[in-house]
Structure 1
Amino acid sequence: MDKMDLLGIVTVISLFVSFFLAFFLLTVKTEHKISNRLFAFFLIITSVDISEPLISQITDGPSNLGMLRTLLAFLQIPAFYLYVLSVCYSDFQWKPKYLIHLLPFFIGNLVLVPRFYSVDLASKLDFIINRQDMIELQLTHWLFHLQVLVYFTAVFLLLKKVKKLYLENNSGGDLNSYNWLFQFTSVLTALYLIVILKNIFKFSDYPYVSDWIKIGILVMQLFIICWYLYKALNNPGLFRNIDSKLTLVADLILQEKKIEPEILNEDLLK
């Protein structure tokens, strides 16, 4: 069995588990429908991303759909962020302002229009062969790295705040929901740091190292997806939300300190 056959088997298993879990999340009866749909969307986008070993065996060369599939990675982290937000806050609702999270995806596609999407197959092939010199690909990779940094920082700050809110408003009750999200975020952070390392080698003088790291990432994703399934099936009541309108005690104290001088000033003016 050669390397491509092994990757194909790993990819097929990963896709099966991912779509099975996505189907489970979309059909299970629960109060947390938005959270489940966001997690299912995250799994589907991730599945499309990891399907590359299979697609490469049935396509003859680079294509617009192939590049679009690659850039769908820009939707994974925003979907994950919104999922965490929806699990943390029981009153989470979809809002039009969340469409701003699509901006990196559109920017990444837009810069590739002149020299990839709008050219013939031979030009596409030349573009991919000389990817180390293509400013558009370098830009999309740096934009992706920036997205990883910004979103994961935002998620960890959100979890820190939510943990305090939970402890203050639930008397130190069960933290299963927080623990799951923290574990989920930590695992994904480690995975994306490895992805960034892979991308660095991709544009270095050692591109073959990037290929080996890519194989490791595919194997890691299989175990991570199986872990998702284990968590979902063994902890059906895992998610416990809090109201986003709740305020930290420290913030309430600051608000009271600001209000007191205003009340004193009003009394003096009377």
Structure 2
Amino acid sequence: MSLESLPGLLAVISILIGFVCGILGCFLIATPSDRRAANLFFAAFLILTAIDVSGWLFVGASPADSWLAAFRVVLAYLQMPAFAAFVLATCFQDFALRRRDLLHGLPLLAALYLSLPGNQLGGFDGGAAYLGDTELIAVITGLHVQYYLYIGWVILALLRFKRAYLQQYAGDGPVVLRWLVQLIATSVFVHTLVVVRTVAAFGGAGGAAQVLEAVGAVIALFILSWITFNALRHPELFRTVDPGLAVAPAPPSRDAGVGADSGEARRLLAWMDSETPYLDAELTLAALARQLGMVPRDLSILINQAMGVHFFDFINRHRIEWAKQRLLDNPRMTILEILYDAGFNSKSSFNAAFRRCEQMSPTQFRKLHADRSEPAA
């Protein structure tokens, strides 16, 4: 493909992305959901993305040509605030916009000021009507800095959510969380490609910049198609609140009276041995607390401090011990049968937990102990 054909390719991709964003945005706005706020933020992000890539329809046109073209570039400053709000509203049910969130619009206002007629920065592009060279470099650089700052914030929020999940649940991680991680990872890859393309463009490597832009456009179209596919395949991503996406509890405070030899700790371990609640694949911290007649927060403190682990690891350790005994006592049972009976929902999560506890796979464990039990010749 020649460089001359790239503008046409970009124009076609721009139309396709705009169509996909419009369809998915309308779906999110119109779909009844317990996650209404998250869906609206994501719809806003998609619409802003469609506006941003519409610039590919006018390859070669400069943001200095008209204020509308300059405004399209400046409007990109709302993309990452909308995306961050989507992630936070997805992970934390109590998320709501506050007055202080208006501060997220300050970079947009600064960029709007730079897009006014004239040369606000007094650089080498003296008579520019709108975004001249110096102003465009400032606006584009600001967009890239803003992107990575928001991505860092979003990653910290996901880590905070993961810690909360480990304190309350013992099953596989929620589908939405895994999807968000994949979405962020692909977004970082594509944006890094955009940064390289921008550096190449400002560095005078116009041909390389065009090729990188075309590659980024194709990947962006693929990602949006993947998002749409997920929306069709897993409508629960946008319709219902995942039971794992609860409000993150405050970290439990240290309590000197809680220890592994305390009465509550002994009662907890005795209950685990006699009632085997961990065999329930849907067991949660709240459910176990009800069985013990405890407040969930107190049980969380007990497990964290007396056992030194999260609820997730505490339950899975018991499941692994139970599975180990079945692996040895029931050689005719398949590993798949045992892992489901032990309370796991997937082979991958069982294998990962087993390796953490035994530093070997279930198959290796069974074979090792079978070899040891064989009588010597």
Question: Which bin holds the TM-score, normalised by the shorter protein?
Answer: 0.7 to 0.9
Spell out, residue by residue over 1:179-210, the C-alpha distance to the aligned partner (whole angstroms, 9 max, x if none).
01111111111111111112212221323322
- For the 8 Å contact 2:197–2:208, the answer to whether it is kept is yes
CA distance in 2, matches of 1:244, 1:36: 18
Query: Could you tell me which of 79, 83, 86 is aligned with 2:86?
Result: 83
Contact 1:46 1:76 (C-alpha < 8 Å) held by counterparts:
yes
2:253 match: secondary structure: helix
| Secondary structure of 1:252 counterpart | coil
In the superposition, the TM-score normalised over structure 2's length comes to 0.59
TM (normalized to structure 1)? 0.81
Q: Distance in 1 between matches of 2:236 and 2:111?
A: 38
Residue type of the alignment partner of 1:12: I
**Aligned match of 1:107 in 101, 105, 110?**
110
Shift of 1:125: 7.1
Structure 2, unmatched stretches of 5+, are: 121-125, 257-377
1:262 corresponds in structure 2 to none
Distance 1:63 1:243 in 2: 47
Residue in 2 aligned with 1:176?
175
Q: CA RMSD in A?
A: 2.7
Cα distance change of structure 1 residues 12 and 114 upon mapping to structure 2, 3 Å threshold: closer
Number of equivalenced pairs: 244
Kindly state the Cα deviation for residue 3 of structure 1 after the two structures are TM-superposed: 3.1
Paired with 1:125 and 1:93, the residues of 2 have a C-alpha distance of 40
Identity %: 26
What is aligned with 2:214?
A: 215
**Cα 1:25/1:127, change in 2 over 3 Å:** closer
Shift of 1:232: 1.1
Q: Which of 25, 28, 47 matches 2:28?
A: 25
Of structures 1 and 2, the larger Rg is shown by 2
Q: Is the 8 A contact 2:94 2:247 kept in 1?
A: yes
Distance between the aligned counterparts of 2:207 and 2:193, measured in 1?
Answer: 15
2:235 paired residue number:
236
In the alignment, what sits opposite 2:331? none
Q: CA deviation at 1:93?
A: 1.8
How far is 1:42 from its partner?
0.2
Q: Structure 2: which amino acid aligns with 1:92? A: F
Contact 1:63 1:124 in 2 (8 A): no
Unmatched segments (≥5 aa) in structure 1: 258-270
User: Aligned residue for 1:12?
Assistant: 15
Cα distance between partner residues in 1 of 2:62 and 2:188: 32
Q: Which amino acid aligns with 1:191?
A: V
Alignment of 1:17-96 (within 5 A): 17-56=20-59, 62-96=65-99
